[in-house]
Amino acid sequence: MFRNLFISVLTIFVYTNVSSKCLSIPKSRIIDKAGLYCLEKNLEIESSIGISINNSNVTLDFKGFSITSKSENKKFIYGIHIEKGKKNIKIFNGTINNAIVGIDIGPSESTSFNILIKDLKFKNIGAIGIRTYGSVEITNNVFENIGLQPIDDFAYSIGISVGGKNVKILKNKITRIKRQNLNAIGEAVGILIRDDCENCLIKDNLIDKKDGIEEANSYGIWNTGLEKVVIVKNKIIGFKYGILNNSGNYKIIFNEIICSNQKEDFGLVLYNNSQIQDIKIIQQSNDISSCTYPNFTCITMDSNDCSNWISESN
């Protein structure tokens, strides 16, 4: 079933710009023409969006600078917003501070979306580091302090939230992520693979909760993907649930899950549509020995029954 997956998931990203010379960011901070754009200084944002990309074939080079909100601005929603349907976008080499959502990428009906986000730092993000849909590569970025400085009343925090077709999440570092409102129902999730994610590769990421706070609803990777999801060689530290899977078409191998050594940590949990024949293979190919409940064999349509079954069987 997964014989051709590693080949098919390798999307070729091509970026075409009309000029190799850096263009200045418009005063409006709306990019509506193709080209290579470069930051020339740090940007302090007073409005809801840092930079909007409203055209295809755009490269945005931060040149090591940052986009951040002024301290009194609590309405800084998006560091960067990419209009839906835009293609061939590359963003790299800088920092986004204090936004509710670091980068928001609108949906596209195309399977050749071709967006690359690389070598960025996301700091003090209110709710979501990157939220994206389809044919996106997110590589070698750092996410630090997600949900640790609450903005408005969001109850959840997510490092990377992905869906759509042909996604690669590679070599990212996600640290210090927590629920914004501990009194509300919500989650702290390192990487969320949404239920429309198809042909998605999650590989070589470090996801470290790091704050040492025990939270019932914290997940290193939460996979609800549609099909052909591969989760491989990730290192996950300090979450209540290392990997939670309720996808029916997946491959989970060679991950290292280090639990927080607090009571009732779960290394890897499979339920709902998980394939029972894969359980022994997954147990043998992932390092989950440090968790209170490293073995996760639970197949049911009811997540509450799943939790009860695990507790009673260990």
Of 163 and 173, the one with more pLDDT: 173
Q: How many helices (H) and strands (E) does the chain have?
A: 3, 27
Nearest-5° angle of CA 38, CA 175, CA 185? 110
Count of beta carbons in the 10 Å neighbourhood of residue 6 = 13
Domain membership of residue 85 as a residue range: 5-313
Work out the average pLDDT over 232-251. Answer: 88
Residues 6+ apart with CB under 8 A from 246: 223, 224, 270, 271, 272, 273, 274, 303
Query: Bridge partners of 270?
Result: 245
Instruction: State how far the Cα of 303 lies from the Cα of 278, in Å rounded to an integer.
Output: 19
C-alpha dihedral, 13 to 16 to 22 to 26, nearest 10°: -100
Work out the average pLDDT over 148-164. Answer: 76
Of 117 and 253, the one with more pLDDT: 117
In the chain, what's the furthest Cα-to-Cα distance? 64
The pLDDT-based confidence of 182 (bands split at 50, 70, 90) is low
> pLDDT digits over 21-55, tens only?
899 999 999 999 999 999 999 999 888 899 999 99
Instruction: State how far the Cα of 258 lies from the Cα of 140, in Å rounded to an integer.
Output: 22
Average pLDDT of the chain, as a whole number: 81
Q: Which two tokens stand for residue 170?
A: 């590679």
Whether the CB-CB separation of 81 and 91 falls below 8 Å is answered with no
pLDDT at residue number 262: 62
DSSP for residue 111: S
- CATH number of the domain where residue 103 is located: 2.160.20
Which is nearest to 222 in space by CA: 183, 260, 252?
Answer: 252
**CA count, 13 A, side-chain hemisphere, 38:** 8
The distance from CA 312 to its chain's CA centroid, rounded to whole angstroms, is 32
pLDDT at residue number 231: 94
> pLDDT digits over 76-98, tens only?
789 999 998 899 999 999 999 98
The pLDDT-based confidence of 126 (bands split at 50, 70, 90) is confident
Indicate the number of domains in the chain.
1
The pLDDT-based confidence of 187 (bands split at 50, 70, 90) is confident
Whether the CB-CB separation of 231 and 207 falls below 8 Å is answered with no
Is residue 205 predicted with pLDDT exceeding 90?
Answer: yes
Is residue 136 predicted with pLDDT exceeding 90?
Answer: yes
Q: Which two tokens stand for residue 12?
A: 């070729």
Residues 6+ apart with CB under 8 A from 154: 100, 126, 127, 147, 180, 181, 186
Amino acid at residue number 70: K
* Helices of type H across 20-96: none
Which is nearest to 291 in space by CA: 314, 273, 274?
Answer: 314
